[in-house]
Structure 1
Amino acid sequence: MKNKRRLDEQDDDLVNVLRQRFKQDEKQKQINAQQTFEILMNSQRQQQQQEHKKQSDRQEEPSYALFNNPNSYNTSEQEDNTLSSCYRCNRGTVHGKCGFCEHGICSECAHICNICENVYCGGCSTIDYSSSFEKVFCLSCKSG
């Protein structure tokens, strides 16, 4: 078995340095803390100023064109024209409105939910093919 190497006089200084604790300078700690706090506060101020600038850029005067121009209102004639063709296939005439998206749909594109028995378009309903016959479910009945 080998003996451990003994420390000589040069190594004594090294060991003492490692065992020493540095004296903490309270004044320097306070200065460092103040500098760190200033950095944090300045960055927060810059963020708030940037957000305030973005919000002020977004704020515009409200448009009163809708109130001043009576021709801009949708009349029942305009709504009838938009409902004249099916939203899904653009071929059939409108049979009713979808219970979710309220688009006009023809009788071929209309699906009746097996649970709530409301009319929905193909986008707002799903068809279950797992049994021997098709079952149609609206989005709320399927998730519930």
Structure 2
Amino acid sequence: MSNEVTRIQAAPSPDAIAHFQKRLSLETDCADVFAAFATGSPGFVLVDVRGRKAFAASHVPGAINIPVMDLTEKRLAAYPADTLFVVYCAGPHCNGADKGALRLAGLGRPVKLMIGGMTGWADEGFSFEGTV
């Protein structure tokens, strides 16, 4: 019996491994970011790429704010070239994190996207910092 799930056969294991390893090299999730910060030494810089007002109102604890347009060599000069940046924005409805990740990659910086952004963080039940 065929349906939309079974109609196309699953990829062979080597293909699936390559696919999911590639995705994990580009993305991380809110729970993994939270757990990394809980260690006290996450090994990355968490960057909120939203505007300054949105960041001031509410943001993920431990994040710094660098709006997309401010992601420049000059702004990043304080960080070693091999610093991993993890970017996020408002949530799945927002492509600011994609734009920020693209900009960082274009500057030759290692980058991952925190999928879900602020919405994902809230869905996980994690708290925020800010004035709200």
**Would you call these one fold, judging by a TM-score over 0.5?**
no
Q: Using structure 2 for the length normalisation, give the TM-score.
A: 0.22
Select the structure with the greater relative contact order (CA < 8 A; seq sep ≥ 6).
Answer: 2
Q: Using structure 1 for the length normalisation, give the TM-score.
A: 0.21
